[in-house]
Amino acid sequence: MPGDGRGRKLERRFEAPRRLRADRVGSLEEGRSVRTYSPKASEITRSWYVIDAEGMVLGRMASEVARLLRGKHKPTFAPHIDTGDHVIIVNAGKVVLTAGKAERKDVWRHSGYPGGIKHSTYAEQLTRKPEEAVRRTVKGMLPKGRLGRAMSRKLKVYAGPEHPHVAQQPASLLLEHARARV
């Protein structure tokens, strides 16, 4: 008999295994847990999507792209495995921010050295490196750590309308809810 650490012995009870009740077809009886679904590598299929970012709001588009990169739109989604798809964003230079946030919102970065903090506004970032502004926004919506880095490698961002991934035959994806309201 196992002890409880205080010198006393605990008694062990044997119970008959619980059976599923007939009125609960397809679900387990209370008190039992369901194992976490973990897809095998052979079950994971990755698609390629291309998104035209012209006239889209940055945050709305980025949240949808992060959802695709994580694979949350698939029935085989598991939070601990990368099941997401590849996403190509074109026309990143034509993305918009609402309510004047392009001039008000700052982008911070640090070199790692003392006094090495730098900042600029989103407007400056979008004129200088629009791909980096979109990539940083999407990356902030992904999990942190190895899994998030693996997901962010499947994101390809281009400032212009052309991309070199024609051989993968990406499907065009329309995000109407992410369009800027005029």
Backbone phi and psi for residue 68, each to the nearest 5 degrees, phi listed first? -70, -40
Is residue 27 pLDDT above 90, yes or no?
no
Residues 83/120, Cβ–Cβ less than 8 Å: no
Residue 53 lies in a domain: yes
- Number of independent structural domains in the chain: 1
The rounded percent of the chain whose pLDDT value lies above 90 is 77
CA 146 centroid distance within chain: 13
Structural domain includes residue 22? no
Pairing of strands 117-121, 86-90: unpaired
* Residue 148 falls inside a structural domain: yes
Instruction: Tell me the C-alpha distance between 140 and 108, whole Å.
Output: 13
Is 35 within the bounds of a domain? Answer: no
H-assigned helices in 12-157: 58-70, 101-104, 122-128, 130-139, 146-152
Average pLDDT estimate for 6-30? 56
Per-residue confidence (pLDDT) for residue 35, from 0 to 100: 83
Angle between helices 58-70 and 130-139 (to 10 degrees): 60
Q: Which residue blocks in the chain are alpha helix, DSSP H? A: 58-70, 101-104, 122-128, 130-139, 146-152
Q: What single-letter DSSP state applies at residue 75?
A: T
Provide mean pLDDT across the span 33-58: 92
Greater confidence, 25 or 175? 175
Q: Render pLDDT for 144-176 as a digit per residue (tens, 0 to 9).
A: 999 999 999 999 999 999 999 999 999 999 999
The predicted-structure confidence for 88-145, as pLDDT tens digits, reads as follows 999 999 999 999 999 999 999 999 999 999 999 999 999 999 999 999 999 999 999 9
Tell me the C-alpha distance between 137 and 147, whole Å. Answer: 17
Q: d(Cα 27, Cα 25) in Å, to the nearest integer?
A: 6
Q: Where are the alpha helices (DSSP H) in 28-174?
A: 58-70, 101-104, 122-128, 130-139, 146-152
Residue 87 lies in a domain: yes
In a domain, 86, yes or no: yes
Q: Once rounded to an integer, what is the mean pLDDT over residues 76-86? A: 94
Is 20 contained in some domain? no
Considering the chain, what is the average pLDDT of its residues?
A: 88
> Tokens at residue 94, please?
């034509």
Are the C-beta atoms of 180 and 63 separated by less than 8 Å? no
Q: Are 49 and 87 in contact (CB under 8 A)?
A: yes
Which residue range is the domain that position 174 belongs to?
A: 47-178
Q: Cα(7)–Cα(19) distance, rounded to whole angstroms?
A: 36
| 12 pLDDT more than 90 | no
CATH number of the domain that 51 lies in? 3.90.1180.10
In a domain, 21, yes or no: no
